[in-house]
Structure 1
Amino acid sequence: MTDSTPRIGIVVTDAYAADDPDHDTPILLAALETRGAPAEAVVWHSTADLAPYDLLVLRSPWDYPDRPDEFQAWLDRAESATRVVNSPALVRWNLDKQYLRDLEFAGIRAVPTQYGRTAADVLAALSAWTDRRVVVKPAVSAGARDTGLFDAADPAALRLAERIIAGGGVAMIQPEVTELSAGGEKALYSIEGRHTHAIAKGALLEAGGGLIGGVYVEHPEPVETTEAERAFAAEVMDAVCATTGQAMPLYARIDIVDSAEFGLVVLEVELIEPALNLHVAPHATDAVVDAILRAAVH
C-alpha cells in the first residue's frame, strides 16, 4: 500500500444468521486486495473512527431494522466524516418502502399497495381484496420480517397489521401476485446504472402466515432476463434518480415480477444493503470492484 492508495471500508455488522451468511464481503475484500487496494470490514455500530476512510461502502448492515434510530445516527456520523455509497440521502429515502408511491408518481408500475396507519385503514384495505389472498408487511423492514401471506378475511392478517402499527410502523397491504407466490420474482442488479446479473431466489412466504420452512432462507440462482425486463429496470433506476435528485447509485437491486394481472411491476428497489450474490455470479465481481475504486478517488 502507498500513501496514494485509498482506504476503503466495507460496512458490515458483527453477527449473521448461520443460514444467511454474508457471502459478498470476503469476495470483495479479496478482489480489492488483488487490485492493490486492500480494504477492511467495518462494523457499522462500532465506535471506529470513520474519518481515516476515503470511502465507506454499505454492504451488509443487516441488523439495521432492529435499531433504526442508531442506524440513522450512524449515517449522520459517517456522512460528516467521509464519502459513503450509496449516498446517505438515497439510503434515507430507501429506508421506508413508501418510496414506491414516489416511483408510481414517476410512472413506474408497482404492485397495488395500500398503507395502513390505523386498524380502520387496514380493514378498509383488506375489504378491497375480498375472496383473495393478500400480503401484509411493514413499510420499514428487511429479510421478510413481519411479512405474511393470508386470505384477506383471515383474522391473522389484521393481527399482523395491528402489531406492525402498534410498534410505530405502517402496514402495507398488497394483493397476492400468483406469479410471485410461484417463485417468479427476479432480482436484477445494477452497478453504476449498468445491468450486470439477475438472481431468482424462489418463493419465501407460506400461505397462512410465516415463511416456507419456518425460516428465511434464500436459494439464489442466476436467471436470464428479457430485454423488456432489463429496460424496465433501467426505467426504475432513472426514476429513482429523478425522484431523489441523486446521482446513479453505485449498486442497486431491482425486484420485479411479470404478472398476468398487473403486468411487469416493481416489487422493491433495494439501495441500502442488497446481497449481490457474487458467490453465484462471480462475473459481476469486477464490475463492483471497478465501481468501488472509481468512487474511492472521486
Structure 2
Amino acid sequence: MTSPAPRIGIVVTDTAFYSDEDPDHDTPILLDALRARGAAAEAVVWHDATVDLAAFDLLAVRSPWDHPERPDEFQAWLERAAASTRVVNAPATMRWNLDKHYLSDLEGAGIRVVPTAYANSVDDVRAALAAHARVVVKPAVSAGARDTGLFDADDERALELATRIIEAGGTAMIQPEVPELSRGWEKALYLIDGRFTHAISKGALLEVGGGLIGGVYEEHPEQVPAYDDEIAFATAVVQAVQTVTGGPLPLYARVDTVRSRAYGLALLEVELVEPALNLHVAPHATDAVVDALLTAATG
C-alpha cells in the first residue's frame, strides 16, 4: 500500500502585495519541483482565514512579506499554525528572529557582529551617533529596509529617524557605516538543513542621506563564489542559532556577511523567517530545498 502524497503548503501573501521590482520568484519554482517529486504542494496565503491549516503535513513559510505591517496578526497566525501542523522554520525560532536584538544573543555565543547600539531614548541615540562619523539607523523590528537610512552622524535626519522609531514604540539600532557595504560587498550565504548551497550578492541599497539608491528598494541578485572561511562562518552562525534558541537547526537560513577592514568577516543579519532564496539565480539549490521540505513533511 503506497503512502499518500505529503501535502505541503508554501506560505505566501496575496499577489497584490508583490511588485514587478520585488516578485516572489521562489514559490513557482518550489511548487513545480515538489509536484514533480510527488508532493501535493500549493501556495497558502497566510492571512486567508478559510485555509484549513491542519490539512497540511507541513507549512513552509516563504514569502509573507507583508507581515511587518500586520505583526500581531502574523504572531497569532504562527500560533495557530504551530498548533495545527509542523511549520518551518520553527515558530519559536522565527519569533526570536523577528527582533534584531537577536544579534546580541549571537554575539554572546561567539559570533562576530557589526557593532550595534540599541537606543530606547533620544539620549541613547545622541550618544550612539557621537561615536561614529557615518551611521546606519534602522528599527530593531523591520524588513526590506523599511525605515532604514545611511547618514553622516551629524545629519539631523539621523536623529529624526531614530526618534521616530522610538516614539512609535520601537528600538532604534545605530551601526557604524561599513564602507565595504556601501561598495556593494555584502554577501548572503544560504544554508539548507545546515549545509551551504549558494551565495548571492545583491549590491548596495542605501544612499547617503536616508534614501534608497534609485529611490526604491530593488535587489539585483547575482550568484557569487563563497570562500571556505565564509562557509565555515555561516555554518557557525546557524549552529549558534540552534544553541541560543534551543530549537531545531533552521531548515533554511540566509546569513548576511561582510568582509571589512575594520571588523574582519562579520555578521550583518541572519534571516530565518522569509528570505528570498533566489532559486531563479541559483537553480541548482532547488533540489536541496525540496529534499529538506519532503523530509520535514514525512519525517
Structure 1-normalised TM-score? 0.98
Structure 1 CA distance, aligned partners of 2:215 and 2:134? 19
Structure 2 CA distance, aligned partners of 1:172 and 1:265? 17
What is the match of residue 5 of structure 2? Answer: 5
Shift of 1:166: 1.4
Structure 1 CA distance, aligned partners of 2:85 and 2:108? 33
Structure 2 CA distance, aligned partners of 1:17 and 1:99? 29
The amino acid that maps onto 1:283 is: H
Deviations 1:242-289 (A, max 9, x none): 111111111000000000001110000000000000000000000000
Shift of 1:3: 5.8
Flag as ranges the 4+ runs of structure 1 deviating above 3 A. none
Q: Secondary structure at the match of 1:258?
A: strand
Structure 2 CA distance, aligned partners of 1:118 and 1:75? 31
1:49 aligns with 2:52: yes
RMSD: 0.8
1:67 aligns with 2:41: no
- Gaps of at least 5 residues in structure 1 are none
Aligned residue pairs total 295
- Which of 93, 101, 106 is the equivalent residue of 2:96? 93
Shift of 1:5: 1.1
Q: How does 1:203-282 map to 2 (within 5 A)?
A: 203-282=204-283
Structure 2 CA distance, aligned partners of 1:4 and 1:168? 48
Deviations 1:20-50 (A, max 9, x none): 0000000000001111113000000111120
What is the match of residue 27 of structure 1? Answer: 29
Q: 284-293 or 238-247: which moved more?
A: 238-247
Deviations 1:46-103 (A, max 9, x none): 1112011110000000011111001000000100110000000100100000100000
The amino acid that maps onto 1:297 is: T
- Gaps of at least 5 residues in structure 2 are none
Percent identity of equivalent pairs: 70
What is the match of residue 36 of structure 1? Answer: 38
Structure 2 CA distance, aligned partners of 1:51 and 1:147? 38
Structure 1 CA distance, aligned partners of 2:200 and 2:162? 30
The amino acid that maps onto 1:123 is: R
Structure 2 CA distance, aligned partners of 1:12 and 1:207? 33
The amino acid that maps onto 1:270 is: E
Q: Secondary structure at the match of 2:207?
A: coil
